[in-house]
């Protein structure tokens, strides 16, 4: 898949985190970026847009990132969900991977880390 055909969903309750990552994605030339501010909205936006890759925060109001991940993967087993969280403990990492996440990024997310993820999705590695 070409990066310029890729669609991305960013799920984070922090407006700042969403904007920063969204700007980074745009600078890579992705086709479209969608945003969700909580886990509930994340699931709805996923169903609505079926993005190629999802960046999911863990600590979010209403529905947590882990629960949103489970709901998405339950219905769409091939979903490419990358957890992007400030709480990258071994416990959270294991829980996320067990629930179906394909990768885990510790916040703050560097441009290099974000680019690696996008390239891996493009190559079909993730």
Partner 1 sequence: MFAQFFGGYLFNHKLCSAEDLTQAFEAKKYTRLRLGVLAINAGLMTAEQVEHVNITQQSVDKRFGDLAVELGYVTEEDVEKLLSQQPTDYLLLGQTLVNNGALTNAEFEKAINDYKSENQLSDDDISENQNETLNKLIKEFYHFDSAVDAKINTEFVTLLFKNIIRFIGDDFTPLEASVVKNYKAENLIIQHINGTYSATACIGAYRDAYIGFAARFAKEDFTEIDDFVHATVGEFLNVNDGLFIVNESNERGVELSLTPQELSESAEIFFDDTAFCIPVVFPFGQVDFIISNH
Q: How far is the CB of 30 from partner 1 (least distance, A)?
A: 22
Rounded-to-integer distance, Cα 108 and Cα 126, Å = 21
Query: Which is closer to partner 1, CB of 109 or CB of 117?
Result: 109
Residues in the chain: 126
Residues pairing with 84 in the sheet: 105
**In the structure encoding, which two tokens stand for residue 10, read together?**
């960013």
Query: Which is closer to partner 1, CB of 47 or CB of 62?
Result: 62
Q: How far is the CB of 105 from partner 1 (least distance, A)?
A: 12
**In the structure encoding, which two tokens stand for residue 102, read together?**
């394909």
Q: How far is the CB of 14 from partner 1 (least distance, A)?
A: 5
Q: How far is the CB of 103 from partner 1 (least distance, A)?
A: 17
Helix, strand, coil share (%) of the chain residues, nearest 5: 50, 20, 35
Rounded to a whole number, what is the largest CA-CA distance in the chain? 35
Residues that bind partner 1 (CB under 8 A): 13-17, 19-20, 59-61, 85-91, 106-108
> 4 CB contacts (<8 Å, ≥6 apart)?
29, 30, 31
Query: Which is closer to partner 1, CB of 86 or CB of 120?
Result: 86
Query: Which is closer to partner 1, CB of 47 or CB of 94?
Result: 94
């Amino acid at each position: 898949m070409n990066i310029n055909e890729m669609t991305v969903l960013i799920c984070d309750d922090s407006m700042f985190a969403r904007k920063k990552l969204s700007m980074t994605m745009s600078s890579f030339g992705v086709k479209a970026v969608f945003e969700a501010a909580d886990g509930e909205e994340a699931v709805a936006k996923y169903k609505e847009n079926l993005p190629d890759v999802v960046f999911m925060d863990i600590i979010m109001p209403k529905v947590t990132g882990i629960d949103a991940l489970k709901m998405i993967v339950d219905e769409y087993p091939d979903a490419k969900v990358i957890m992007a969280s400030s709480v990258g403990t071994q416990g959270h990492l294991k829980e996320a991977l067990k629930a179906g996440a394909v990768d885990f990024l510790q916040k703050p997310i560097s441009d290099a880390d974000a680019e690696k993820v996008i390239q891996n999705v493009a190559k079909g590695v993730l």
